[in-house]
Structure 1
């Protein structure tokens, strides 16, 4: 997902437990889709942050394709 240079610099290499994009619509599903696509793992702190973001969003569908 494209963002401004300022937003990209503020994110650096932080995960959702340390940084979230300003747009609420991009805060959870896009991150989870990227993790699933690339078969990445999440540590406990990151998982807790994602679970907190997902609360109340049971109707959100995460679409992704596994990377080749």
Structure 2
């Protein structure tokens, strides 16, 4: 996610909080906390997705050996 997307998600999460006074009125430290929480959540989701893909890949049967014969090659 790029910075503007992170900002949009942080702002949306802030807005659903009870007692939200308006994103533009909040101090930088509060906005920074929301941004960091969004980045941490995205990182956790990415890590979980990677583990899920790895486990699915390991669970699949491996492809067998493929032997190809060149029809132009002389047989002995």
TM above 0.5, yes or no, is: no
Normalising by the residue count of structure 1, what TM-score does the alignment of the two structures yield?
Answer: 0.28
Task: Name the larger-Rg structure.
Answer: 2
Higher RCO (CA 8 Å, separation ≥ 6 residues)? 1
Normalising by the residue count of structure 2, what TM-score does the alignment of the two structures yield?
Answer: 0.26
More helix by share: 2
